[in-house]
Structure 1
Amino acid sequence: MAWNEAENARQRARREERIRKEEAEQKRQKLEAAESKARIMEAFLKEKEKEVLQLQEEAKTFITPQNLEARIEECLDNPRNYNFAIDKDGRIVKRTVLS
């Protein structure tokens, strides 16, 4: 009977040690997952911040009711002709056969 109690105590100690190791491993995995999620979120936020800065930079050239007259004047003062051709060598040909 004493041997059985000693064996039970030994097995209980092994089981408790195994459970402690499993809990420590689970805590470590949860910590790694949280750190990974934090890194991903940080990268996502940096990317979105970069997009916002880019949009703010692009917004400077938007046509608004306040600058509409100035933009119209600018376009009238600087006309652009998009009627051109590109030959096989990649050169821009401004004059076409009809003009």
Structure 2
Amino acid sequence: MTGEVQRTADGRYIVVRGRLWRASNPGLPEAKRESLVHELMDARRAVAAAKRSDDAKAEKAARARVHDAKVGLGERGPVWWADGAPDLNRHLVKNTPYAAEFET
């Protein structure tokens, strides 16, 4: 990937190919964030290894680890903001209130 990641002005989402993806919770303590990112990367490597060895049981377990790490980071599960704004994860930017931020 080249260039910087585009973020919404409120920091809640990153934008990838015109789609919103929930960003990690910026309020996480750095040590906790580092630990969760490390676990996420380990889990993703475990998914790849399980797929290479065609081990469905190991793949399922590794995907559960990925999910748990993403929930811990705030990228999945309950939203980390408290103002009642809806979760627009995976929505096309153009179909959200963020559209004006990214018009070219």
Sort the TM-score into its range (normalised by shorter chain): under 0.3
Structure number with the bigger relative contact order (C-alpha 8 A, sep ≥ 6) is 2
Which structure has greater helix proportion?
1
TM-score (norm 1): 0.27
* Higher Rg of the two aligned structures: 1
Larger proportion of strand: 2
Normalising by structure 2, we get a TM-score of 0.25
